[in-house]
Amino acid sequence: AQRVTQPEKLLSVFKGAPVELKCNYSYSGSPELFWYVQYSRQRLQLLLRHISRESIKGFTADLNKGETSFHLKKPFAQEEDSAMYYCALIDYSGGGADGLTFGKGTHLIIQP
Amino acid sequence: DVKVTQSSRYLVKRTGEKVFLECVQDMDHENMFWYRQDPGLGLRLIYFSYDVKMKEKGDIPEGYSVSREKKERFSLILESASTNQTSMYLCASSLGGLHNTEAFFGQGTRLTVV
């Protein structure tokens, strides 16, 4: 069974400080990892995926297979980063049709 | 832009009522999903469908059923609504296949069962 763990329900940092949102996973197949974000009053949307290896809005996430982690990082937080962040996993063994497994989410608050 | 549209933003229903939540996507996606989103529990998969008339149970299917008669439409049905089904319901779709697994979400339906 696949599982995604986000240990922090709430993370509060000051503007300009570094941010790290933790995500650990367990799986029994060939996973792909994602970070999704939901800003206030907006729909849930993809932030980044590990196979793209790209930086979106200054965020990066590196897949560490040894530690089974996919932490989301940003060197300098901005107030507009305040949102709910979900780490998610999909197992390709089902052809990608099995749906995303989400963590419980971390509410990130950036204080001015 | 992919559009996933849920028919209602807010619904209030009585215990025991039959409730239909409708979702339509306009990008010819193969896969469609229903999640419920609860504070502290994240998103949990209720049902998904990878083709017309096909459906698979997710992690929490009890008390729910689904219907997919057309590719673009995926309906979630609460046969007899109960107060513990008060939640935010999110519909999503994805193209399907390897590396086409990005999910596009609707705006959500906040259902209150009284």
What are the extents of the domains in chain B? 4-113
**Cα(A87)–Cα(B60) distance, rounded to whole angstroms?**
19
Q: Is B43 exposed, middle or buried (0-12, 13-18, 19+ CB in 10 A)?
A: buried
Give A31 to chain B, closest Cα distance, Å: 11
pLDDT of B97 strictly over 70: no
3-state secondary structure of A80: helix
CA-nearest residue of chain A to B42?
A: A104
Q: How many domains, chain A? A: 1
Domain carrying residue A26: 3-111
Residues contacting A41, CB < 8 A, separation 6+: none
Give A97's contacts in chain B (Cβ within 8 Å): 30-31, 48, 50, 96
- Cβ–Cβ of B96/A92 closer than 8 Å? no
* pLDDT, tens digit, 9 for 90 and up, residues A59-97: 999 888 888 999 999 999 999 999 999 999 986 655 555
pLDDT tens figures, B62-80: 999 999 999 999 999 999 9
Look at residues A19, A18, A15 and name the one whose alpha carbon lies nearest to residue A35: A19
Best of B51, B102, B104 to substitute, by most chain A Cβ atoms within 10 angstroms, is B102
| H-run or E-run covering A83 | strand A83-91
Question: Are A14 and A79 in contact, with CB atoms under 8 Å apart?
Answer: no
**DSSP calls for B26-55:** SS--SEEEEEEEETTTEEEEEEEESSTT--
Q: What was the pLDDT predicted at A53?
A: 74
Per residue in A8-51, pLDDT (tens digit) is: 999 999 999 999 999 999 976 667 899 999 999 999 999 998 87
More reliable by pLDDT, A90 or A4: A4
Query: Residue A50 maps to which CATH number?
Result: 2.60.40.10
CB-based contact (8 Å) between B48 and chain A?
yes
pLDDT of residue A94: 54
Which of A44, A46, A90, A92 to mutate against chain B (most B CBs within 10 Å)?
A: A44
Chain A positions with Cβ closer than 8 Å to B:
6, 9, 32, 34, 36, 43-46, 49, 51, 86, 90, 92, 95-105
Q: Does residue B16 belong to the interface with chain A, where contact is any CB pair within 8 Å?
A: no
Q: How far apart are CA B61 and CA B108, in angstroms?
A: 18
Say which of A51, A86, A90 has its CB closest to residue B42. A86
How far is the C-alpha of B88 from the C-alpha of B75, rounded, in Å? Answer: 15
Q: Does B54 touch chain A (CB under 8 A)?
A: no
Question: CATH number for the B4-113 domain, one of 1.10.3720.10, 3.30.450.20, 3.90.550.10, 2.60.40.10?
Answer: 2.60.40.10
Q: What is the pLDDT of residue A65?
A: 86
User: Quick one: tokens of A74?
Assistant: 């940003």
Contacts of A36 in chain B (CB under 8 A): 103
